[in-house]
Amino acid sequence: MKREQGDLPVEGATGSIMNDAVLERFRANTQAACSRLGRFFRIFEVNTSLPGSDKKKTAEKVAGIVLDLISDQLEEEILCINKAEAQKIFQEKSSVTGAKASELVNLFVNQGSYIPRAEAEASVEMLQALPVVVVRTKGGQVLRLRRREKQEDNALHERLVIWAGGHVRREDAANGQSILQGVIRELHEELRLSLEAQSLNLLGAIHVDRGGSTARHIALVYEWRAETDDVTVVLSNAEFFERRGTSLSGKFVPLEELRELQNFSDKLEPWSEQIIRDLLDGGDHLAEMKLL
């Protein structure tokens, strides 16, 4: 049909394919395929029909997903130290605070080496630095998250955590103190929070040797407190489950509520248990220790 000058494009009209019934079946079949293939592929949903959706937010979400996927494929060189040197500081304890925690940070910064991530994961002699941040409101509520891992058999998959962070890359050392620059970068990637180094307080360090991936890492635990009780975070879809309805993800909760979760180790991962028990609010005096 020839469109006369001044006519508007067809809008609201239906045809054999473009009608509500067919489109609904197409959507249902697509969702069923995603559910069936989700164990084999990483599938991301971008719903542009939600209220408040706009081009900028959609573009930012898609760009974030793509950048996360590209980052996964790059061969990272990550910061590690010799396990024997770290054990001298921990002395068979699973957590340290104060001067010993600072000593561990300095050990990584001054004597650590950057090795390919695959090599680090396979090594029994090296421990990887994994600086993490506990995000809190001014009133002390803690950000509780639910991890999303690539492999469903990963011990962290769908477990509740109270930290965000990641490995320290070689390029982090070019911008300042490598540990702090690494965790600042990770916080921006995972939660879209832009922090300054001086706003982070070192609470302590944790090494939980229960086998698996966790045993190959040392958590260097920092705390960041917001200046208000109104804190906005944007969860990385590749790292965390987004909060949906009454989901247990991406929510600020009182410390007392987290302490109750310590009785349910199937929900709370080991580092979070240790942080709650040993580092938080007994606790507030440690928050005065600022490492630049």
Give the domains, in start order, of the chain with CATH numbers.
Answer: 76-288 (3.90.79.10)
142 or 249, higher pLDDT: 142
Note the pLDDT of residue 213: 78
Contact 64, 56 (CB under 8 A): no
Burial of 112 (0-12, 13-18, 19+ CB in 10 A): buried
User: Is the model's pLDDT at 288 over the cut of 50?
Assistant: no
User: Roughly how many angstroms between the first and final C-alpha of the chain, as a whole number?
Assistant: 70
Note the pLDDT of residue 236: 60
Residue 56: DSSP 8-state: H
Q: How far apart, in Å, are the Cα atoms of 58 and each of 61, 62, 83, 131? A: 5, 6, 44, 30
Highest mean pLDDT: which of 116-125, 226-235, 265-274? 116-125
Q: Which of 292, 162, 281 is nearest to 219 (CA)?
A: 162
Note the pLDDT of residue 289: 40
Note the pLDDT of residue 20: 82
Which residue carries 């980052």 as its tokens? 71
51 or 190, higher pLDDT: 190
The residue count for the chain: 292
Contact 155, 210 (CB under 8 A): no
User: Is the model's pLDDT at 282 over the cut of 80?
Assistant: no
Q: What digits encode the pLDDT tens for the residues 73-127?
A: 667 899 999 999 999 999 999 999 999 999 999 999 999 999 999 899 999 999 9
Q: What is the mean pLDDT of the chain?
A: 81
Confidence category of residue 245, pLDDT binned at 50, 70, 90: very low
Confidence category of residue 291, pLDDT binned at 50, 70, 90: very low
The percent of residues above 90 in pLDDT, for the chain, comes to: 43
User: Is the model's pLDDT at 259 over the cut of 50?
Assistant: yes
Report d(CA 172, CA 169) in Å as an integer. Answer: 5
Q: Which residues contact 263 (CB under 8 A, 6 or more apart)?
A: none
Torsion sign (Cα): 83, 84, 88, 92: positive
Amino acid symbol at 66: V
Torsion of CA 24, 27, 33, 34, to 10 degrees: -140
